[in-house]
Amino acid sequence: MFRPGNPLPGIVNDHQASPHCTREEGQPRPMEDLRQPTAAERVRTLVESRVSAALSIPGIELDDLGSGVPEARAVNTGGDVILLVPADSPAARAGAYAQDDDVTAVMELTDVAPVSVPHRVRGRAWVAGWLTAVRGRERGIAAKLLTERHPAGPPPGGMGWMMLRLEVGEAQVDDLWGESRVAAEDFAAARPDPLARHEVELLQHLAAAHPAQLDRLTALLGDQAAAAAADHRPVPLALDRYGMRLRYCRRQEGFDVRFEFPDPVTDVMGLRREMHRLFEAAGWED
């Protein structure tokens, strides 16, 4: 639900560049005319992932002892973000005394590549809305949801912890695909990418166990890109259901190449099939 006075701040984009181009001080920018997750899907994926998150409330200092960092988070069926925070934190106190949902808050998420590459921050997202304590019958549902998402975490209903509900007013993302705003209803309707929960281990495995196969993919590039990649090291940077992005690195510089899958991938088994096809197309033989 959108309300007047949306709390989401503006974002200064400090790494603009043209498609397929790299500036030394910033990320390679998005590629045009490629299938890609929507902005709402990208935000939803980050919210439901394990990337770092920090909560800020205008007028309240939250950075002492990490009190502005939710211990766990999940999204309910209505598109609200459920947060687990220490019961003695400023965020918990603000939520406990909220009246008429008037405590505005912004959660910032930072997505860092799980492999070593230049310009390792892949993107950021901001989710802004109104913060209240989870009460009544909603507590059981919210606790079950958090436990399912974070089975190894602290018990959501346990002593020392409090559940908060962030009713989303608007979101924004600035990442490898570009910068976009996301309406609350689009965030609620979106679903996280099916590969997101496996992406970290998959990228690390590709980087550690398959550098020769990744290098062979250079054969699929056009002459100009292949020549540019000749003295660069390919590193797997990102995976989603539509394809894989490699960053060709040399010292602190690099450029990105996107390899699309013929059909969207829905699970890890499908990804393995597409990766085998990709390596075979590049002339790799087991």
Give the CATH number for residue 241: 3.20.180.10
Task: Band the pLDDT of 19: cuts 50, 70, 90.
Answer: very low
Give the CATH number for residue 144: 2.30.110.10
Within 10 angstroms of residue 276's Cβ, the number of other Cβ atoms is: 13
Q: Which of 190, 207, 223 is the last residue of a domain?
A: 190
Inside any domain, residue 22 = no
Inside any domain, residue 286 = no
173 and 230 belong to one structural domain: no
Task: Band the pLDDT of 101: cuts 50, 70, 90.
Answer: low
229 and 205 belong to one structural domain: yes
Q: Which of 128, 160, 190 is the last residue of a domain?
A: 190
> Phi-psi bin for 160: left (phi > 0), alpha (psi -120 to 50), beta?
left
For all residues of the chain together, what is the average pLDDT? 85
Q: What does the pLDDT read at residue 226? A: 77
Inside any domain, residue 113 = yes
Q: Residue 163 pLDDT more than 90? A: yes
Inside any domain, residue 28 = no
Share of the chain above pLDDT 90, in %: 64
Distance CA 218, CA 255 (A): 13
185 and 236 belong to one structural domain: no
214 and 178 belong to one structural domain: no
Distance CA 124, CA 186 (A): 18
The identity of residue 110, as a single letter, is T
143 and 120 belong to one structural domain: yes
139 and 186 belong to one structural domain: yes
Q: What does the pLDDT read at residue 113? A: 96
pLDDT in tens, 31-71: 666 789 999 999 999 999 999 999 999 887 765 544 578 99
pLDDT in tens, 69-81: 899 999 999 999 9
Mean pLDDT of all residues in 123-142: 95
Q: Residue 16 pLDDT more than 90? A: no
Q: Which of 156, 190, 224 is the last residue of a domain?
A: 190
Q: What does the pLDDT read at residue 8? A: 44
43 and 183 belong to one structural domain: yes
Q: How far is CA 66 from CA 33, 74, 112, in A?
A: 41, 19, 19
Q: What does the pLDDT read at residue 254? A: 79
Inside any domain, residue 173 = yes
Q: Residue 28 pLDDT more than 50? A: yes
Q: Are 46 and 52 in contact (CB under 8 A)?
A: no
DSSP 64: G
Q: Residue 242 pLDDT more than 60? A: yes
Inside any domain, residue 164 = yes
186 and 203 belong to one structural domain: no
Inside any domain, residue 207 = yes
Q: Residue 9 pLDDT more than 70? A: no
211 and 144 belong to one structural domain: no
Structural domain including 239 reads 198-281
Q: Are 279 and 271 in contact (CB under 8 A)?
A: no
Inside any domain, residue 76 = yes
The identity of residue 101, as a single letter, is D
59 and 156 belong to one structural domain: yes
102 and 61 belong to one structural domain: yes
What is the residue whose two structure tokens read 């001080």? 25
Burial tier of 44 (Cβ tally within 10 Å: 0-12, 13-18, 19+):
buried
Q: Are 122 and 151 in contact (CB under 8 A)?
A: no
186 and 205 belong to one structural domain: no
Name the domain count of the chain. Answer: 2
Mean pLDDT of all residues in 174-197: 97
